[in-house]
Structure 1
Amino acid sequence: MMLVFHPCKYFSRGRNNSGEPASDSKTPGTSKVQSQNSNPNRDGPRGSSSSQNKSAGGSFMRKLSADQKKKLREDGKCFHCEQTGHLFKDCPQCNLKKPPVGLRAMDLLSPAEARLAALQEGHEFGLYGVGVIDSDLWPAECRDVSTAEVRSDIKSSLLDVLYQAVPLALDYIEPDAEFSPFTPDRFEIYDNGCVDSGEYYLLSYDDLLLPEFDIIRWVHEQKSGHFDEMSRGEDEIRAYERDVIPSP
């Protein structure tokens, strides 16, 4: 998830944003009264509007004496509306509730929008590729992919997934490797038949159309089985050489 923190401006006491002394800061030889009088708008519209909001909105606590507070507290009544069933901080007539600390625009995103934002962030950092498949070329209800155009699109998407997953689990990537797993023509897909390269696997288009089909896991399982067969074959050859071929 991408969290966006907007930069905040921090002000030191008696200085403005440019670092110079503020107009209302105290300087030697001046009094507090002079500093306040130097700003005519200090107690002007701001003070009047604040008092108007207090009186009009009724959202601030009324001034009560100690005896009044004690009496209301003993009766279990609210300090504001003098009703039972809630405290002043929960009074429905007050509007003192503030938004939670740390509220950001990301909190307003739906789960789908948050997921898309995470995918976009991963794509920008090169973690994986994000592509869009045209639904008209691959309808969910259609199990028949007989046209060459649809087959070509499926093969292209499949190759993209394979190349982005390199190196695979059993790939040998040491400097003395005979073949590099990052070769651009490493994977090939044939519609009918295939070239015997010593390591090939058969795929059906019905499997590719399944939403839960995972090509990377499937390749790993195929290669693991092939690796296991090779290991057993080498052991059998060694056993044959040990039992049949006499040692000099």
Structure 2
Amino acid sequence: MSVVRGATSLGFPAGMALGGVISELYGPVTAFESMAVLSVIACLISYREIPETHADSRSESVGLRDIYLGLPAIAAGGANFGLLFTYSGIVFATLVSYLDTTTAASVAVGPQGTSGVLIGVSVLTGSVFAVIGGRLSDVLARRLPFVVGCLGVTSIGVIVLSVANSFPLLVTAVVLLGVGQGGAGGPLLSLLGDLTPNSDMGRATGTYNTFGDLGASTGLLISLPVANAIGFDSLYRFAAVVPIIAAAVVIFGVANIEETAPVSDARA
């Protein structure tokens, strides 16, 4: 599961990183054209390689009644909301503008290229720790400590970003953010699987992903207006609290889930 989460977390921010570098060097039109070509290639590969596994049991319709609102999905989804709100919605959405206001990013390329480099470092770190965190949580059967610990690392990363006054500190901040986001994603989804009946897992995963998308979208909508109103440092200090709230949500949810989990020892 963590391999899948690692690849998923790699795609969106990696596009932002690559797009930033291409836009800085060749202009935004070339960046959009490059991303369009990559999208077509991805569609062709998906059509060719991904088999249909549920052709005989397809549902004729899907509606709001199909949304799964069990406590595991709400708890894990709420944590995913906070994680992506902070990581993708706040930090990545504002990084280019933030680099325009600080001398810490005094490297050869401009703000777009620098943000691309920083996001690329964060994404690579996140992908590595997605696999490491998932593997360790499987071996030790202790998902919750990994999730809570990585959410704490995410919070520390945002705090470091808010006080960064040099390029090495900027790199440290995005590495911490990558460790937190990547390390939490796989065990969090695996925890959802441990605590959800198999018959509800598809809908529960949909709820989980919906919460994450809402978190990222909400962050994207509010981050720049709020930063313009209160400043980037204040915005990042506020954002650092969100992963802590997310950790509290998942701890509360797991503590109150009834004994329906297939793997009960993964809770602790």
TM surpasses 0.5: no
Structure whose alpha-carbon radius of gyration is higher: 1
Per residue, is there more helix in 1 or in 2? 2
Q: What TM-score, normalized to structure 2? A: 0.19
Tell which has more relative contact order, 1 or 2 (C-alpha 8 A, sep 6+).
2
Q: What TM-score, normalized to structure 1? A: 0.21
